């Protein structure tokens, strides 16, 4: 047959079986055994094309083409002959005994997949213009080719469960049982390595070259990045897929934002040739992570580093040869050093961009601001120097905004975490803040947790249409009122927190008085003094057991040094959620005074106020229980109700303190 040698690739499924006439006569004539399409490839030797087209036999003794130990060829062994012409056309012929099962029944490409150097040796094609992707990232996909990961579910499960029985070739053969295309072959190899090979920290530190050899890796199932990349390349080549190991610099374990790179390369990864283009993978980082504090490796599969879009891969991988960036235009080492490093979880959890785009931020008037855009509502948190302090983080429908106020001048480490669809917060960004001036007037309460202000999350938790949509509330007289809708069946709890003054754990709820009107809850707040306070809001489903869950908080600010509000009256369990207190709102009453009372109480028969004596309250035409009480001769005053007219037992609902004379 005549093979075309133009620019169009030709691909033929073919198995050419050659029998010796002498052997045929000795064995007698009988029908040929059909080929087994599932048989694994066994490559032991072959012809190698030379530039002038002359073919020569190459018997492999000691090591095969892939570095594996083999025995000398015998008459009964399968022989594989592979030939290449000057244009890179590949023809593979298998010669085996008639009674042996064909070993190489798979697709052999006659396309120009391999190049031939001047000595006739084959080598993968170098990356060119058609391999490149535009920079910066166009947000179209995290992958360098269209993928539906659901198509790999069966293959991934199979590949992750394959075990090593003997050598590397048999392992590859087992993996190929469920792989029917080059893409699936690469996927099966990737999954197996990511789920079976552990990062060897000691070998990496000692630069133990023995740990990089495939035979040693299969025995110990440990290696470092060179070993991962070398094993991935070897397995791909055994399976007939072009693959290259790419050395370079990386922003991996021990990386510090803004650091420069020079000298010896610290990492290695792979490029694979699929569907006419080169693509990038990093099985080291796909397999798991190393805890920097314990130096222990944990298997934690990371899909991000399989066929990663080159415009994203460049964020933490800088190859020795700029062509392996697969980018147009390629990035310089200086750009790589200065560009913001978005960790893989940044993209895994649906984030799109972050501002600023540099890893080192200089504060302005003691403040630094970070914003993140995400493709879906996402929960965030931050840590400054390892603590959740000195910042205001507010959630947005598609992202977040964070204002940070470093407490001192100098360098500070800022980490940002995102939750995504899981219950675990993962680190997505890391900045170094350079603060030349610390604004001492901006000291936020230590109990100010994240997020600050209402958001999509508080609405999801049953709090809707807040009166204050911004995270910070300013008050000139030390008082404010916050209201919001509450979904049916939701209970709300609030507490006030400051760093100094009379707000203690016992009284932090006494500076808030909660009212409920027509499916809206109102929180009346009185501050004990000037300063900054965290108004924390919790919710709980009434019918479900368990504790209240924190939803969000407001930051309340007051600069009026004359502010000195007392606590509200203490309420008890029988204080109904729909009750309303109009007066007195102060929980501390003056001594020797007649104090008016006005309340709206639901579902009661009688109400009274008890001090040294008892004063009944009467129900007005407007629906309020009203009356007055003398504080003479008493230290405490109670409001009590009778819920059933047929009973004589009164319940306490409010308690007031009386000032000393």
Of the ranges 10-24, 51-65, 203-217, 314-328, which is most confident?
314-328
Exposure string of 557-575, with b = 16+ CB inside 10 Å and e = fewer, is bbeeeebebbbbbbbeeeb
Residues making up the chain, counted from first to last:
661
Contacts of 511 (CB under 8 A, 6+ apart): 496, 503, 525, 526, 527, 528, 565, 567, 568
Q: In whole angstroms, give the CA distance from residue 531 to residue 441.
A: 10
User: Could you report the per-residue pLDDT of 428-482, keeping only the tens digit for each?
Assistant: 999 999 999 998 888 899 999 999 999 999 999 999 999 999 999 999 999 999 9
> In sequence order, what are the beta bridge partners of 418?
380, 426
301 and 172 housed in the same domain: yes
Looking at residue 122, what is its pLDDT?
Answer: 58
Does residue 118 have a pLDDT over 50? no
Set 267, 390, 412, 529: catalytic member: 267
Looking at residue 79, what is its pLDDT?
Answer: 54
282 and 323 housed in the same domain: yes
Least confident of 7-11, 390-394, 397-401, 511-515: 7-11
Looking at residue 240, what is its pLDDT?
Answer: 95
What's the rounded mean pLDDT across residues 7-12?
Answer: 44
Contacts of 415 (CB under 8 A, 6+ apart): 382, 383, 427, 429, 430
What's the rounded mean pLDDT across residues 76-90?
Answer: 46
- Tokens standing for 308? 């990663």
Contacts of 533 (CB under 8 A, 6+ apart): 445, 496, 497, 498, 503, 527, 555, 556, 557, 558
Of 442, 471, 502, which residue is a domain's last? 442
For residue 474, tell me if it sits in a domain.
yes
Q: Is 36 a catalytic residue?
A: no
What's the rounded mean pLDDT across residues 92-104?
Answer: 48
Looking at residue 63, what is its pLDDT?
Answer: 36
What's the rounded mean pLDDT across residues 10-35?
Answer: 40
Set 282, 317, 390, 497: catalytic member: 282
- Rounded to 5°, the CA angle 142-144-149 comes to 65
For residue 401, tell me if it sits in a domain.
yes
201 and 328 housed in the same domain: yes
Of residues 541 and 30, the one with the higher pLDDT is: 541
Alpha-carbon torsion, ordered 466, 467, 471, 474, to 10 deg: -160
What's the rounded mean pLDDT across residues 169-173?
Answer: 96
527 and 599 housed in the same domain: no
Q: In whole angstroms, give the CA distance from residue 442 to residue 451.
A: 18
Q: Is 195 a catalytic residue?
A: no
- Rounded to 5°, the CA angle 275-277-280 comes to 110
For the chain, give the longest Cα–Cα distance.
Answer: 128
Does residue 210 have a pLDDT over 80? no
504 and 606 housed in the same domain: no
- Tokens standing for 200? 């060897």
Write the secondary structure of 355-372 as one string of H (helix), E (strand) and C (coil): ECCECEEECECCEEEEEE
- Tokens standing for 316? 């933490």
**Does residue 122 sit in helix, strand or coil?**
strand
580 and 546 housed in the same domain: no
Q: In whole angstroms, give the CA distance from residue 142 to residue 352.
A: 10
pTM here is 0.75
163 and 291 housed in the same domain: yes
Name the burial class of residue 233, with classes exposed (0-12), middle (13-18) and buried (19+) by CB atoms within 10 angstroms of its CB: buried
What's the rounded mean pLDDT across residues 1-12?
Answer: 42
What CA–CA distances, in Å, run from 33 to 12, 18, 98, 173, 349?
A: 21, 13, 8, 21, 53
Does residue 44 have a pLDDT over 90? no
216 and 313 housed in the same domain: yes
**Does residue 327 sit in helix, strand or coil?**
strand
Give the pLDDT band (50/70/90) at residue 648. confident
- Helix, strand, coil percent content, the chain, rounded in steps of 5: 15, 35, 50
189 and 230 housed in the same domain: yes
CB half-sphere exposure, 600, CA atoms < 13 A = 11
Asked whether the beta carbons of 558 and 476 are under 8 A apart, the reply is yes
333 and 350 housed in the same domain: no
Set 194, 225, 236, 480: catalytic member: 225
Among 396, 318, 315, 400, which residue's Cα sits nearest to residue 354?
Answer: 400
Does residue 356 have a pLDDT over 50? yes
What's the rounded mean pLDDT across residues 589-607?
Answer: 93
Give the pLDDT band (50/70/90) at residue 298. very high
CATH number of the domain at 469, please.
2.60.40.10
Looking at residue 107, what is its pLDDT?
Answer: 34
For residue 89, tell me if it sits in a domain.
no
Q: Is 243 a catalytic residue?
A: no
For residue 329, tell me if it sits in a domain.
yes
What's the rounded mean pLDDT across residues 10-14?
Answer: 45
Does residue 146 have a pLDDT over 70? yes
Catalogue the E-assigned strands of 300-425: 306-308, 317-319, 327-328, 351-355, 360-362, 368-374, 380-384, 391-396, 399-404, 410-418
What's the rounded mean pLDDT across residues 289-315?
Answer: 94
Looking at residue 523, what is its pLDDT?
Answer: 94
Does residue 597 have a pLDDT over 70? yes
Does residue 617 have a pLDDT over 60? yes
- Find the helix or strand (DSSP H, E) in which 168 lies: helix 168-175
- The domain tally of the chain equals 4
For residue 460, tell me if it sits in a domain.
yes
Of residues 40 and 244, the one with the higher pLDDT is: 244
Q: In whole angstroms, give the CA distance from residue 311 to residue 313.
A: 6
For residue 142, tell me if it sits in a domain.
no
228 and 316 housed in the same domain: yes
417: containing domain: 346-442
- Tokens standing for 530? 């000037």
What's the rounded mean pLDDT across residues 115-129?
Answer: 65
Asked whether the beta carbons of 493 and 469 are under 8 A apart, the reply is no
Among 414, 411, 408, which residue's Cα sits nearest to residue 442?
Answer: 408
Contacts of 29 (CB under 8 A, 6+ apart): none
Q: In whole angstroms, give the CA distance from residue 410 to residue 61.
A: 65
**Does residue 345 sit in helix, strand or coil?**
helix
Q: In whole angstroms, give the CA distance from residue 340 to residue 314.
A: 11
Of 415, 442, 469, which residue is a domain's last? 442
Give the pLDDT band (50/70/90) at residue 295. confident
Cis peptide bond upstream of 233, omega within 30: no
User: Could you report the per-residue pLDDT of 392-410, keeping only the tens digit for each?
Assistant: 999 999 999 999 999 999 9
For residue 398, tell me if it sits in a domain.
yes
Question: Mean pLDDT score of the chain, rounded to an integer?
Answer: 83
Looking at residue 93, what is its pLDDT?
Answer: 57
Of 396, 418, 442, which residue is a domain's last? 442
Contacts of 347 (CB under 8 A, 6+ apart): 142, 304, 312
Looking at residue 416, what is its pLDDT?
Answer: 97
Asked whether the beta carbons of 168 and 189 are under 8 A apart, the reply is no
User: Could you report the per-residue pLDDT of 222-271, keeping only the tens digit for each?
Assistant: 999 999 999 999 999 999 999 999 999 999 988 988 899 999 999 999 99
% of the chain residues with pLDDT over 70: 80
Give the pLDDT band (50/70/90) at residue 515. confident
Give the pLDDT band (50/70/90) at residue 86. very low
For residue 500, tell me if it sits in a domain.
yes
CATH number of the domain at 279, please.
3.10.620.30
* Per-position DSSP letters for 493-542, written without gaps between them: EEEEE-SSSS--TTTTTTTEEEEEETTEEEEEEE-SSSEEEEEEEEEEET
Q: In whole angstroms, give the CA distance from residue 375 to residue 372.
A: 10
490 and 535 housed in the same domain: yes
Does residue 41 have a pLDDT over 60? no
Does residue 95 have a pLDDT over 90? no
């Amino acid at each position: 047959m005549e093979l075309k040698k133009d620019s169009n690739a030709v691909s033929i499924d073919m198995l050419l079986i050659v029998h010796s006439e002498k052997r045929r006569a000795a064995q007698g004539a009988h029908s040929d055994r059909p080929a087994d399409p599932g048989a694994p490839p066994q490559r032991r030797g072959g012809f190698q094309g030379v530039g002038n087209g002359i073919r020569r036999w190459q018997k492999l003794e000691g090591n095969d083409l892939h570095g594996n130990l083999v025995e000398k060829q015998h008459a009964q062994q399968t022989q594989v002959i592979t030939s290449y012409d000057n244009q890179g056309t590949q023809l593979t012929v298998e010669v085996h005994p008639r009674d042996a099962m064909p070993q190489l029944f798979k697709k052999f490409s006659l396309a120009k997949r391999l190049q031939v150097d001047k000595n006739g040796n084959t080598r993968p094609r170098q990356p060119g213009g058609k391999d490149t992707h535009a920079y910066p990232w166009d947000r179209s996909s995290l992958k360098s080719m269209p993928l539906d990961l659901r198509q790999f579910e069966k293959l991934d499960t199979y590949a992750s469960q394959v075990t090593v029985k003997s050598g590397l070739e048999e392992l590859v053969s087992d993996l190929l049982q469920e792989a029917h295309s080059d893409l699936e072959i690469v996927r099966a190899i990737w999954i197996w390595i990511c789920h079976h090979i552990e990062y060897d920290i000691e070998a990496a530190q000692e630069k133990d070259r023995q740990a990089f050899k495939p035979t040693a890796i299969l025995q110990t199932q440990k290696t470092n990045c060179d070993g991962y990349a070398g094993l991935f390349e070897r397995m791909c080549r055994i399976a007939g897929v072009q693959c290259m190991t790419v050395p370079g610099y990386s922003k991996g374990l021990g990386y510090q934002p803004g650091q420069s790179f020079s000298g010896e390369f610290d990492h290695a990864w792979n490029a694979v040739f699929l569907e006419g283009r080169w693509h990038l993978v990093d099985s080291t980082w796909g397999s798991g992570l190393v805890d920097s504090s314990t130096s222990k490796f944990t298997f934690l599969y990371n899909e991000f580093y399989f066929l990663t879009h080159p415009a994203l891969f460049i964020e933490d991988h800088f190859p020795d040869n700029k062509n392996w960036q697969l980018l147009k235009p390629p990035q310089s080492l200086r750009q790589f050093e200065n560009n913001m490093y978005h960790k893989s979880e940044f993209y895994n959890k649906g984030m799109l961009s972050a501002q600023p785009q540099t890893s080192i931020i200089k504060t302005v008037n003691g403040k630094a601001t970070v914003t993140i855009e995400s493709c879906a509502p996402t929960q965030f948190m931050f840590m400054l120097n390892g603590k959740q302090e000195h910042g205001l983080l507010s959630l947005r429908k598609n992202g977040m905004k964070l204002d940070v106020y470093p407490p001192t001048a100098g360098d500070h480490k800022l980490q940002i975490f995102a939750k995504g669809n899981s219950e675990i917060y993962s680190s997505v960004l890391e900045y170094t803040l350079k603060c030349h001036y610390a604004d001492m007037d901006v000291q936020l309460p230590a109990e100010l947790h994240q997020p600050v202000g209402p958001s999509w999350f508080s609405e999801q938790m049953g709090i809707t249409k807040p009166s204050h949509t911004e995270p910070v509330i300013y008050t000139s007289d030390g008082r404010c009122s916050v209201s919001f809708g509450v979904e049916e069946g939701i209970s709300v709890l609030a507490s006030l927190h400051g760093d100094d003054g009379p707000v203690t754990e016992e009284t932090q709820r006494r500076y808030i008085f909660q009212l409920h009107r027509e499916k809206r809850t109102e929180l009346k707040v009185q501050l004990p003094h000037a300063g900054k306070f965290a108004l924390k809001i919790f919710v709980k489903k009434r019918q479900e057991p368990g504790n209240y869950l924190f939803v969000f908080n407001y930051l309340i600010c007051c600069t009026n040094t004359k502010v000195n509000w007392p606590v509200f009256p203490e309420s008890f369990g029988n204080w109904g959620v729909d009750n309303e207190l109009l007066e007195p709102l102060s929980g501390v009453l003056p001594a020797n005074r007649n104090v008016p009372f006005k309340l709206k109480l639901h579902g009661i028969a009688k109400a009274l106020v008890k001090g040294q004596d008892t004063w009944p309250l009467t129900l007005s035409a407007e629906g309020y229980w009203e009356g007055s009480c003398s504080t003479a001769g008493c230290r405490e005053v109670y409001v009590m109700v009778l819920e059933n007219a047929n009973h004589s037992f009164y319940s306490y609902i409010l308690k007031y303190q009386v000032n000393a004379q």
